[in-house]
Amino acid sequence: MKKLTIGVIGYGGMGSYHVEHLLSQSDGFQIAGIVDLSLERQQIAKENGLKVYDNQNAIFTDDQVDLVLVATPNDSHKEISIAAMYAGKHVICEKPATITAQDLEEVLDISEQTNRSFIVHQNRRWDPDFLIVKELYEKGEIGDIFQIESRVQGANGIPGDWRHEKMHGGGMLLDWGVHLFDQILWLVNSPVETIYTDLSYVLGNEVDDGFTTFLTFSNGLKVVVEVGTTNYTKLPRWYIKGTKGTAKIMDWDLNGEVVIAKETNSIAEPTPIKAGVGLTKTMAPPSEDSTKKRGLPTGSVMEESFYENIYNVLTRGSQPIVQTSEVLKIAKLMDQISEMDTDRVLENSQFV
Ligand code: NAD
């Protein structure tokens, strides 16, 4: 197998995770070395037996290097990716590809002009929890799905690095939002009809510390996407309602259940329960003979890992699993969401 040689630009948290974990998804890659502005990260790379280049140009002019991984803060992806492609290198770029859709369009133009691949690491298409949702959506075990709620919630605030700063493309919309919107837009083959977003600034940073977005699609599906960093107790990672059942995935450890309505005409009425100081039949649990509980399904299968796919794209002309047109669609959606900044709405409001 011909090996492709990769140079890593940005050997921080994610750059080193690619080197130490993700690249081994395929035997087709070897590492040329890394470049990082931080002396500390350079030192760690050396201790890990990696070659440390003096600067990114030294990687670009190394004829051995076929492709570069861009794993630097978000605001630098565009410039580094363009320079790499002009230097004849293919690019794997961390998410979010760029800060705006217009920036991404410029990058994609250069990719076309230089005939170099630009592939974005939208890795959460491979997440097992998401693949379960994909299977439920595609196979109809809980009927036609009409509502999906996708949430990630933490209580640690925005990480204390460049993610705090607007100039570096900080904020949770660009950080986790891009993953969650990518999953939804990849899953749902129907145009987005309406978008409503509430961006949160409760921690007082210049960038959002989370958000809640409501999307409706032309096929009738409604989706809630929520990212929170001030949630001291969490809601389920996924909550999905279909015409024949409901599924709940609690966490990345895949705790959860699928509850399906039994197809029978002789279902016993639910027994009323005491609810607070009142009584309810409507909100009582369904009678036992009316539903069946299942464990979560195994999930859709991805034929190739991210790096196997890249290897096949670059050596065999396969289609990338993460298509640039899809990434552009997410960037456009996120542009629209950014424009719905709640603060601006409040400033302009004439109502008390
Ligand atoms: P980080 O701060 O841990 O690492 C970034 C590194 O880049 C630092 O070591 C910094 O010194 C270096 N750097 C900055 N500018 C540079 C430049 N011009 N040239 C060379 N090195 C430079 O950040 P991180 O968490 O690793 O995030 C990096 C990227 O990876 C971000 O775009 C982030 O969104 C993405 N990311 C993706 C995932 C995922 O699951 N796909 C997870 C985490 C981070």
pLDDT tens digit sequence for 334-347: 999 998 865 555 45
What domains appear along the chain, each with residue ranges and CATH number? Answer: 4-121 (3.40.50.720), 125-294 (3.30.360.10)
pLDDT tens digit sequence for 143-164: 999 999 999 999 999 998 999 9
Q: Is 37's C-beta closer than 6 angstroms to any atom of ligand 1?
A: yes
Minimum-distance ligand 1 atom for the alpha carbon of 76: 18
272 prior amide bond cis, ω within 30: no
User: Which residue among 11, 36, 164 is best mutated to probe the pocket of ligand 1, counting the most ligand atoms within 8 A of its Cβ?
Assistant: 36
CA of 323 from ligand 1 middle (Å) equals 22
Cα dist from 33 to 3, 95, 127, 314, whole Å: 15, 21, 28, 20
Minimum-distance ligand 1 atom for the alpha carbon of 17: 26
- Pick the range with the lowest mean pLDDT from 30-34, 181-185, 291-295, 308-312: 291-295
pLDDT tens digit sequence for 312-335: 999 999 999 999 999 999 999 999
- If pLDDT is split at 50, 70 and 90, which confidence band does 18 have? very high
Looking at residue 270, its pLDDT comes to 81
Looking at residue 347, its pLDDT comes to 54
Looking at residue 348, its pLDDT comes to 52
Looking at residue 268, its pLDDT comes to 72
CA of 10 from ligand 1 middle (Å) equals 6
Q: Is 75's C-beta closer than 6 angstroms to any atom of ligand 1?
A: no
Looking at residue 269, its pLDDT comes to 79
CA of 45 from ligand 1 middle (Å) equals 14
Note the pTM of the prediction, 2 decimals. 0.95
User: Which residue among 41, 69, 80, 94 is best mutated to probe the pocket of ligand 1, counting the most ligand atoms within 8 A of its Cβ?
Assistant: 94
Q: Is 7's C-beta closer than 6 angstroms to any atom of ligand 1?
A: no
Q: Is the pLDDT of residue 349 over 80?
A: no
Minimum-distance ligand 1 atom for the alpha carbon of 16: 26
**pLDDT > 70 fraction of the chain, expressed in percent and rounded:** 96
Contacts of 208 (CB under 8 A, 6+ apart): 171, 172, 173, 199, 200, 201
Q: Is 66's C-beta closer than 6 angstroms to any atom of ligand 1?
A: no
Tell me the Cα Rg of the chain.
23
Q: Is 35's C-beta closer than 6 angstroms to any atom of ligand 1?
A: yes
